Amino acid sequence: MMKKDLVSLADLGKKEILSLFELTKELKEKQKKGKKYTPLVGKTLAMIFQKPSTRTSVSFAVGMYQLGGLPLIFNVEELQLRRGESLADTAKVFSRYVDGVMIRTTNHQDMLEFAKHTTIPVINGLTNLEHPCQVLSDLYTILEVYQSPITNHQLPKLKVVFLGEGNNVANSWILGAGILGLNLTICAPQGYEPDKKIYQEGKKIAQKTGAKITVSDNPQEAVKNADILYTDVWVSMSDEKKVDLEERRKIFQPYQLNTQLLNKAKPNCKVMHCLPAHRGEEITDEVMDGPNSIVFDQAENRLHLQKALLVQLLE
């Protein structure tokens, strides 16, 4: 069998995503009932981190452990990559030792290079271009909250509005919404739009699924009739020292997810954030901790979704 990677959300089709969601639901129910399920006994997952992590590192490590496998966590500075060993050589060595690798790195091309030289599954834990595990968990959370039956493949035509920088999460949202047929608006200031190639790819996918994917710079208009309002930090990881933070705050202030903006959406509009949050910047406390927030539900579902992913890739 050919190995299967998850480097981009575009690596998955609608049926594969919905199958993953069905397994996610099953595994979540097993855990809630205290039922052990350990199909990955004897399997090992290596996790390589070039960037800081809370949810990705904890959820993958705990998930692998709960499935009976062994998680190994490496900071890239601890590996011989720091001393000049090539990605190709490192990938070949890991292929001889472990059953899968999850990587969280800055450069998406490094992810592609590493995956090219492995004989084992590679999972994208975040790059500068995409964050597929995050958005898969988000999509599952939305279906769960709206109690949409996954098995009939008829998903609700929800309107999702992403507020803020067109970053890696926004890019993965474009692909995910396109594949599943959701209506998505990326609302970002001019000059901070999502990746053009991914946007075009998402639009092509959307033509087949009936999704509507648009880009706007007008948050007051974009949020009207929204079912989901989603936001992320205004400055991506590793960019904090590269940008003028005060200038960035001025540019993005109209995109803050606050009560005023939330009130322009549907009355029961749900609020999402991939975390970590800079409270008082991209989102206010009253919204993040309010009754419309499902922020911590989506954070929990990182664990359940990734467990399902590990089972599908490593079992």
User: Which residue in 104, 108, 248, 273 is the catalytic one?
Assistant: 104
**How many C-beta neighbours within 10 Å does residue 203 have?**
15
Residue 43 — φ and ψ, nearest 5°?
-95, 150
Residue 218 carries which DSSP code?
A: -
User: Which residue in 55, 108, 131, 304 is the catalytic one?
Assistant: 131
Q: Is there a contact between 277 and 288 (Cβ–Cβ < 8 Å)?
A: yes
Contacts of residue 194, defined as CB under 8 A and 6 or more positions apart, other chains included, come to 166, 167, 170, 171, 174, 186, 188, 215
Q: Is there a contact between 209 and 179 (Cβ–Cβ < 8 Å)?
A: yes
253 catalytic residue (yes or no):
no
Residue 186 — φ and ψ, nearest 5°?
-95, 115
Q: Is there a contact between 143 and 172 (Cβ–Cβ < 8 Å)?
A: no
Measured between alpha carbons, how far is 10 from 171 in angstroms, rounded to an integer? Answer: 11
Task: Report helix, strand or coil for 140.
Answer: helix
CA–CA distance from 23 to each of 27, 76, 213 (Å)?
Answer: 6, 32, 28
232 catalytic residue (yes or no):
yes
131 catalytic residue (yes or no):
yes
96 catalytic residue (yes or no):
no
User: Which residue in 66, 227, 274, 304 is the catalytic one?
Assistant: 274
279 catalytic residue (yes or no):
no
Contacts of residue 207, defined as CB under 8 A and 6 or more positions apart, other chains included, come to none
Q: In what order do the strands lie in the sheet with 228-231?
A: 213-216, 183-187, 159-163, 228-231, 270-273
278 catalytic residue (yes or no):
no
Measured between alpha carbons, how far is 110 from 87 in angstroms, rounded to an integer? Answer: 7
Cis bond leading into 132, ω under 30°?
no
User: Which residue in 248, 273, 302, 304 is the catalytic one?
Assistant: 302
User: Which residue in 50, 232, 256, 306 is the catalytic one?
Assistant: 232
User: Which residue in 134, 256, 298, 306 is the catalytic one?
Assistant: 134
Which of the residues are catalytic?
A: 104, 131, 134, 232, 274, 302
